[in-house]
Amino acid sequence: MAKRQKRASTAARVSTKSESRHHDSGIQAPKGKLGVMIPGMGAVATTFVAGVEAIRKGLAKPIGSLTQMGTIRLGKRTDGRSPKIKEFMSLARLDDLVFTGWDIFEDDMYSAAAKAGVLERDLLDKIKPLLAAVVPRKAVFDHNYIKRIDGPNVKKGKNKTDLAEQVREDIREFKKTSGASRLITIWCGSTETFLEPTAAHQSVKAFEKAMTQNDESIAPSMIYAYASLMEGVPFANGAPNLTVDIPVMHELARRNEAPICGKDFKTGQTLIKTILAPGFKARMLGLAGWFSTNILGNRDGEVLDDPGSFKTKEESKLSVLEHILQPELYPDLYTGFTHKVRINYYPPRGDNKEGWDNIDIFGWLGYPMQIKVDFLCRDSILAAPIVLDLVLFLDLAQRSSELRGIGIQEWLSFYFKSPMTAPGLYPEHDLFIQLMKLKNTLRHLKGEELITHLGLEYYD
Ligand SMILES: NC(=O)c1ccc[n+]([C@@H]2O[C@H](COP(=O)([O-])OP(=O)(O)OC[C@H]3O[C@@H](n4cnc5c(N)ncnc54)[C@H](O)[C@@H]3O)[C@@H](O)[C@H]2O)c1
């Protein structure tokens, strides 16, 4: 026993020390309510809000949520310290969350959830009062950016500056009436058509001028993002749209100490890809091709049936393998592999997507092998806990003196298909590296030792 203690203390001396012990005191306590504002009250948003309420009422468990179920190891393996993340970091409690949203349709969250058809009516009826009370605010919407849908609940304004001002007014009004002490915006709206960064996106000055001129490179999602950041509210982007991944938003986020992250929730097929591909690379197995196809029948599938919206999604899904496999470092294994992604809108399937992957790999002496994956998944069931974790972690980021002024929160890459990074940095897609980065960030914020998994000290 004494020998073990001695080993553990030697281990503590040689292990990497986080340089930020003093930062522990730099995290404000989560006092009061946290207001969650959601542009896009569809399948994902309603499954998230309904889920939070069901969990609060003890009707279900927060499966899939790292903040609610995850633990974090602290110190040596011999220390036996593995608190729950939510307790270690003092995250906002589920009981403190209050909600609002915007949508082009007039359905409240109860009707929208019933139409989305993800959760059973029986469960929705048990939590109806809360859901029915979340009525959508009028949306900033333009059919040119999302071709397959149109709705009546839309703001009118003389230009994009005017629309942004109306969203800012919504934010201030919600803060006042809900009594929230802090706010977060998370985009759960449909995928907008493919846009590339333009001169209008390069600075706050250029963006504000472009808004007065109704510049078409400013999509509705950017107007919500601008309004939120101007109000000092952090913004997460669950869709693959550019939205906050442009210099103007980086600048605003830093200036107003409102953290940002995105893009495109990592669920379904891409989640599986970022679990399998690191495994192939770890074992130096080659890849000849990866063919992914999906059938999906919800409104998201309908929107993605439009080539413009699909291109936005495709770009987000395709980049993953190149970054994980690094063909430039392993030319014999990964040069020129074929990667195809298809999404087919097939109404009978609803939210219960089916994703097929055919993976052609090769091993010793180049001998080929195949892997087939058939994932019968539920998209919104996978996305809802991601929304919850992002809300709680973005709130933590804003309460942290070290994170609130840095803009992009790369440590939240774990949750995204196309993680945002500082300009010039390639994104980290490997799910396991992303998880290590996230947990080490939490340890660092609390002044705990970072875990390198070296472990030689146990054999002194
Ligand atoms: N479900 C998943 O697993 C998953 C994964 C990654 C990304 N996403 C993305 O999340 C988003 C939401 O997915 P979903 O399944 O809930 O889709 P959905 O179609 O059910 O909901 C989207 C909602 O956004 C609304 N909307 C569109 N434009 C808007 C605007 N400008 N302002 C306000 N509301 C607007 C629509 O009316 C709709 O109700 C999509 O962009 C989707 O691609 C979903």
Pocket flag, ligand 1, residue 141 (CB < 6 Å): yes
Please tell me the distance from the alpha carbon of residue 291 to that of residue 337, in angstroms, as a whole number: 10
Rounded to the nearest 10°, the torsion over CA 286, 291, 296, 299 is: 90
Task: For residue 102, count other CB atoms closer than 10 A to its CB.
Answer: 24
Residue nearest to atom 2 of ligand 1 (CA): 379
Q: Which residue has the higher pLDDT, 3 or 322?
A: 322
Pocket flag, ligand 1, residue 264 (CB < 6 Å): yes
The dihedral through the CA atoms of 67, 324, 194, 379 has a sign that is negative
Looking only at the bridges linking them, the beta strands covering 33-39 and 180-187 are parallel
Residue 47 CA: nearest ligand 1 atom is 16
pLDDT confidence of residue 17:
41
For domain 269-376, give the CATH number: 3.30.360.10
Pocket flag, ligand 1, residue 116 (CB < 6 Å): yes
Please tell me the distance from the alpha carbon of residue 237 to that of residue 233, in angstroms, as a whole number: 13
pLDDT confidence of residue 241:
94
Pocket flag, ligand 1, residue 43 (CB < 6 Å): yes
One-character DSSP codes across 95-107:
GGEEEEEEESS--
Strand partners, 223: none
pLDDT confidence of residue 161:
98
pLDDT confidence of residue 350:
85
CA 163 to each of CA 72, 74, 139: distance values in angstroms, whole numbers, following the listed order:
43, 47, 9
Average pLDDT, the chain: 92
What one-character DSSP code corresponds to residue 381? H
pLDDT exceeding 90 applies to what percent of the chain? 83
Question: Quick one: tokens of 340?
Answer: 């195809």
Q: Ligand 1 mean position to 219 CA, how many Å?
A: 15
Give the mutation target among 46, 103, 115, 190 for probing the ligand 1 site: most ligand atoms within 8 A of CB: 190
How many Å separate Cα 378 from the centre of its chain? 17
- Residue 312 confidence (pLDDT) above 90: no
Q: Ligand 1 mean position to 129 CA, how many Å?
A: 23
| 2-265+381-445 and 269-376 in the same fold | no
Pocket flag, ligand 1, residue 380 (CB < 6 Å): yes
Q: Ligand 1 mean position to 275 CA, how many Å?
A: 25
CA terminus-to-terminus distance, the chain: 15
Q: Ligand 1 mean position to 114 CA, how many Å?
A: 15
Pocket flag, ligand 1, residue 379 (CB < 6 Å): yes
Q: Ligand 1 mean position to 139 CA, how many Å?
A: 13
Residue nearest to atom 21 of ligand 1 (CA): 42
24-28, 251-255, 310-314, 374-378 — which one is most confidently predicted on average?
251-255
pLDDT digits (tens, 9 = 90+) for 272-287: 999 999 999 999 999 9
Pocket flag, ligand 1, residue 262 (CB < 6 Å): no
Give the mutation target among 167, 261, 300, 389 for probing the ligand 1 site: most ligand atoms within 8 A of CB: 300
Pocket flag, ligand 1, residue 382 (CB < 6 Å): yes
Phi-psi label, residue 40: left if phi above 0, alpha if psi -120 to 50, beta otherwise: left
Average pLDDT value for residue range 376-383: 94
The dihedral through the CA atoms of 72, 75, 80, 83 has a sign that is negative
- Contact between 300 and 117 (Cβ < 8 Å): no
Q: Which residue has the higher pLDDT, 306 or 450?
A: 450
Q: What is the domain partition of the chain in residue ranges?
A: 2-265+381-445, 269-376
pLDDT band at 25 (very low <50, low <70, confident <90, very high): low
Q: Ligand 1 mean position to 336 CA, how many Å?
A: 33
How long a stretch of residues is the chain?
460
Residue nearest to atom 30 of ligand 1 (CA): 141
Phi-psi label, residue 47: left if phi above 0, alpha if psi -120 to 50, beta otherwise: alpha
pLDDT digits (tens, 9 = 90+) for 98-147: 999 999 999 999 999 999 999 999 999 999 999 999 999 999 999 999 98
CA 283 to each of CA 277, 361, 384: distance values in angstroms, whole numbers, following the listed order:
10, 12, 33
Element of type H or E holding 182: strand 180-187
Pocket flag, ligand 1, residue 418 (CB < 6 Å): no
The dihedral through the CA atoms of 396, 402, 408, 413 has a sign that is negative
pLDDT exceeding 70 applies to what percent of the chain? 95
Average pLDDT value for residue range 284-305: 92
pLDDT digits (tens, 9 = 90+) for 239-254: 999 999 999 999 999 9
3-state SS class at 25: helix
pLDDT confidence of residue 47:
98
Q: Ligand 1 mean position to 189 CA, how many Å?
A: 3
3-state SS class at 184: strand
Which CATH number is correct for 2-265+381-445, 3.90.650.10, 3.30.465.10, 3.40.47.10, 3.40.50.720? 3.40.50.720
Pocket flag, ligand 1, residue 383 (CB < 6 Å): yes
Residue nearest to atom 31 of ligand 1 (CA): 141
Average pLDDT value for residue range 7-12: 40
Q: Label each residue of 146-180 as H, E or C.
A: CCCCCCCCECCCCCHHHHHHHHHHHHHHHHHHHCE
Q: Which residue, among 146, 159, 144, 241, has the nearest Cα to 208 in the 3D structure?
A: 159
- Residue 306 confidence (pLDDT) above 80: yes
pLDDT band at 176 (very low <50, low <70, confident <90, very high): very high
The dihedral through the CA atoms of 159, 161, 165, 168 has a sign that is positive
Element of type H or E holding 39: strand 33-39
Residue nearest to atom 6 of ligand 1 (CA): 265
Strand partners, 376: 354
pLDDT digits (tens, 9 = 90+) for 405-416: 999 999 999 999
Please tell me the distance from the alpha carbon of residue 435 to that of residue 453, in angstroms, as a whole number: 14
Phi-psi label, residue 336: left if phi above 0, alpha if psi -120 to 50, beta otherwise: left
Residue 45 CA: nearest ligand 1 atom is 16
